[in-house]
Each structure stands twice: as C-alpha cells, then as structure tokens.
Structure 1
C-alpha cells in the first residue's frame, strides 16, 4: 500500500465536441465563396468625404475630384512637376560642367604660377 494514496491513474478525458456546428465545411469551393463572400474586390476607404481605392500599390481617388483638385488640374500639376524635374536635372548638369571647367582652369593657373616661380628663380641665379 502506497504511502500517499493510490498509484497515479489519470481520469479519462471527455469526448471532444465537433469542430464546427456549421455545415459550410461540406460545401464545395465555389459555393463557399458565394456564401462567405471571399471575393472582396479592391479595398476602398472614405476620408473626409473623399472615396479612395487601392490599385496597383497606390491609393487612387475613386471620383474625379482629389482633395478639392479635379483630374485635369492634377494632370497639369504632374506635367509641370515633370518639366521642373527635367529643368532641375539640366541645371545640375550645367553646375557639374562649370565645376569641371573651374577645376581645370585652377589647375592650369597653378601650373603657370609654378612655371613663373621657376623662371624667376632661374633668372635670379643668372644675375
């Protein structure tokens, strides 16, 4: 006879309830999609009275008006932005060319100064 009572004997676990009380798991895929609405479509949201939809990784205004700016104005702003970017690139190129020209003339100037100093030292030695 054990000191602290009977030997270890676990109680039997009660039977599990069925995983789902619904019969949707027995339906075929197309019926489940119709019943559960698995085809969501594009995500949309409404901010401050403006409807936006998510397409190709970007939020696009669902209507023609985007934050008080109509579609034509937005296209005009995009074109202007593109023109300004091209102008900016051209100006950067010009600055690079000017810096190259400045460094070249500076190097030539230093060489001329060095030659002038050498000629002065040679002429002083002759005297």
Structure 2
C-alpha cells in the first residue's frame, strides 16, 4: 500500500448554466446600452419620443394581436358548430334514406 501514490483528486464539477429570469440576455447589444425600464412585464426603452412611438406601436400591435386571437377563437368555435350541424344533418339523412329503402322493400313485397 503506497503511502503517497494514491492521492485524493476530486472530479471537476461542470459549470452551472446561468438560468436568468431576466429577458435582457436576449436583447442585442445596442438595445442593452439604452436606458431601460420594466413596465407590465416588458422592458421598455426610455429614449424619449422615438422610444415612446415604438412603445405605442408595440402596444397597438399587442392589442391588434389580441383582437385577432379572439376573432380566431370565435371562428374556430363557429367551424366546430357547423361541423356538428353537418354531422347531425348527415346522420338524419342516412336514417331517412334507410327508412325510405325499408318502405320501398315492404311496398314491393305487397305487390
């Protein structure tokens, strides 16, 4: 048993992944250099009028997006209702055809 031959050498731990809760890391360098403020869950540039115009445009686009999502949801609901109505009408039509065929066969037997 060697006295100094088997030295303790721990394995190196892997580096941690930075799990940032901020979305600043996804911004490009020029945007990060601008003074930013955090409002309503979004980072907004404080660059004066041009930043305010961009912010207003972004707000307008968010509202428009929300309206379109609601319209899309309503249209999907309407399509689902129409498909249900079509299925019901098709089923009724098949039943009517079946009854008509049965009546024809009964009529032929009587003749």
TM range (shorter): 0.5 to 0.7
TM-score by length of 1: 0.50
Give the structure with the larger helix fraction. 2
**TM-score normalised by the chain length of structure 2:** 0.57
The change in CA–CA distance for 1:65 and 1:89 in structure 2 (over 3 A counts) is farther
Higher relative contact order (CA 8 A, sep 6+): 2
Alpha carbons 2:36, 2:44 under 8 Å: kept: yes
Larger Rg: 1
How far 1:70 sits from its partner (Å)?
1.0
Relative to structure 1, the CA distance from residue 116 to residue 23 in structure 2 (aligned partners, 3 Å threshold; closer, same or farther) is: closer
- Superposed CA deviations along residues 19-77 of structure 1, whole A, max 9, x for unmatched, are 9999999999999999xxxxxxxxxxxxxxxx668899866545468999611111111
Question: Which structure is higher in strand share?
Answer: 1
Count matched residues: 111
List runs of 5+ in structure 1 lacking aligned partners: 35-50
Aligned 8 A contact 1:53 1:60 in 2: yes
RMSD of Structure 2 on Structure 1 (CA) = 13.6
